[in-house]
Amino acid sequence: MATRPTIEIRFKQLATTLIKRSERGTAILLLKDEEKVEEGIIVKAYKTVADIDNNAHSDDSIAHIKACMAYAPYEVVVISGGTETEFSEYAAEILKARPSGWICAPGNEDMQGDLASWIKSQENADRTYKAIGTKASQNCKHYVYFNQAVTDSEGTPKTAAEYLSSLAGIIASCNVVKGCTNFLCSDLSLVEEVADIDAAIEAGQLVLTNDVGGVRIVTGINSLTTLNGSTATEDMQYIETVEAMDLIRDDIRDEFKNTYQGRFKNKYMNQMLFIGAVNNYFDNLAAEDILDSEFDNKAEIDVEAQRSAWIGAGQASAVDWDDDTVKRRSFKRSVFIAANIKILNCMENLKFTVTME
């Protein structure tokens, strides 16, 4: 039976462990801007504050845009709707605007539930959108939960929802280059402390704390809490790990679709061309400290998956094929690739023992 083409890039963590580098670090703000939007939706993209179209946004919206841009994300995409604009309309514009990005609905309590639900649906569809919001208990590696009242550097109190634009700017600016653990929220003077920081983090909450020198992010985690040791691991609770996973997923998918899918016949030599491109990409990521250069980050033909496909198609003799035979016997229209990589994490924990004689 004919089927639509599928591209599955699954990340599995074993034990404890540029095609072209994607531009990351996009923050996407969903704003209610009834002062400026009478009907429909307005979409704007800004790289600097000088680009902001003051005529397209209310003063409150401009404040959110500038708060996000203060932390220098790669870009800020603003999707503005009116009073009657439904979340489904925002979602449609997100899909058209960018293939990935950090999304929030700053100051809008009513939109938090819809956004959280939509992000989980996108994760299930293998898309790499991520969001930060105030909806608890999402158990999702692409959703960051935040729920603390803050006071900005000018002494103005803000709800958690009102501070989402700044947090989106912080996390988007860190992207795959660094983690946001211990990040100084320079636009804040005070945060309302949680009762038990360790318990909040264990429950999947991004926590800010009043520290020496200012308000800081305790540890850069998402809301994932249920682990299975394979597709949901402890490392995947960290924002920086998921960012790297998503970068790799998007880049390899795009390269396959744009260069190989439908253009190359499915034979061993062409598969090796693709694998060579992937391994060169891994080398580039290792040079940028996204992957560990001390680890052998390699992709290769997934021998067991390809053998199983042949057996499932009725080729019983495939059980006895040696690995080289399996590799050279490409299966119909499918390419089976497996990779073993090690994503680098930032330094967080220190154990320093001093012995005095």
The structure tokens listed for 76 are 């800020």
Name the pairing type of β-strands 26-32 and 75-81.
parallel
166 and 314 co-located in one domain: no
State whether 46 and 174 are in the same domain: yes
| Two tokens, residue 41 | 């939706």
Cα three-residue angle 189-194-195, rounded to 5 degrees: 135
Regarding whether 203 and 288 lie in a shared domain, the answer is no
Q: Does 105 fall in a domain? A: yes
Is 15 domain-assigned? Answer: no
Q: Would you call 240 helix, strand, or coil by DSSP?
A: helix
The boundaries of the domain holding residue 180 are: 26-217
CA–CA gap between residue 130 and residue 222 (Å, rounded): 10
Show which of 200, 217, 234 is a domain's final residue: 217
Do 298 and 191 belong to one domain? no
Helix (H) or strand (E) run with residue 317 in it: none
Q: What's 62-98 look like in SS3?
A: HHHHHHHHCCCCCEEEEEEECCCCCHHHHHHHHHHHC
User: Are 193 and 327 in the same domain?
Assistant: no
- Quote the number of domains for the chain: 2
Residue 296, domain member (yes or no): yes
The neighbour count for residue 349, using CB atoms within 10 Å, is 5
Within-domain flag for 243 = no
Residues 275 and 171 in one domain: no
Question: Is the domain of 203 the same as that of 278?
Answer: no
Q: How many CA atoms lie within 13 A of 56 on its CB side?
A: 15
Q: Within this chain, do residues 279 and 161 fall inside the same structural domain, yes or no?
A: no
Within a 10 A sphere around the Cβ of 38, how many other Cβ atoms? 9
SS (HEC) of 164-216: HHHHHHHHHHHCCCCCCCCCECCCEEEECCCCCHHHHHHCCECCEEEECCEEE
Indicate which CATH number applies to the domain containing 54.
Answer: 3.40.50
Domain limit, last residue, from 197, 217, 237: 217
Both 76 and 157 in a single domain?
A: yes
Of the three residues 217, 243, 272, the one that is the final residue of a domain is: 217
- Are 200 and 297 in a shared domain? no
* Separation between Cα atoms, residue 211 and residue 44, nearest integer Å: 36
pLDDT of the residue at 162: 98
For residue 231, tell me if it sits in a domain.
no
User: Do 115 and 197 belong to one domain?
Assistant: yes
Asked whether the CA dihedral 50, 56, 58, 61 is positive or negative, the reply is: negative
Are residue 123 and residue 187 in the same domain, yes or no?
Answer: yes
| Residue-level pLDDT, tens digit, the chain, 357 residues | 677 888 877 776 654 445 556 667 999 999 998 777 767 799 999 999 999 999 899 999 999 999 999 999 999 999 999 888 999 999 999 999 999 999 999 999 999 999 999 999 999 999 999 999 999 999 999 999 999 999 999 999 999 999 999 999 999 999 888 899 999 999 999 999 999 999 999 999 999 999 989 999 999 999 999 999 888 999 999 999 999 999 999 999 999 999 999 999 999 999 999 999 999 999 999 999 999 999 999 999 999 999 999 999 999 999 999 999 999 999 999 999 999 999 998 888 888 999 998
* Residue position matching structure tokens 């992957």: 291
Domain-located, residue 331? yes
The 3-state DSSP class for residue 303 equals helix
DSSP summary character for residue 346:
-
Q: Is 5 left (phi over 0), alpha (psi -120 to 50) or beta?
A: beta
Closest CA to 83 of 30, 29, 31, 32: 32
Residue 257 in any domain: the answer is no
Provide the CB-side half-sphere exposure for 128 (13 A, CA): 26
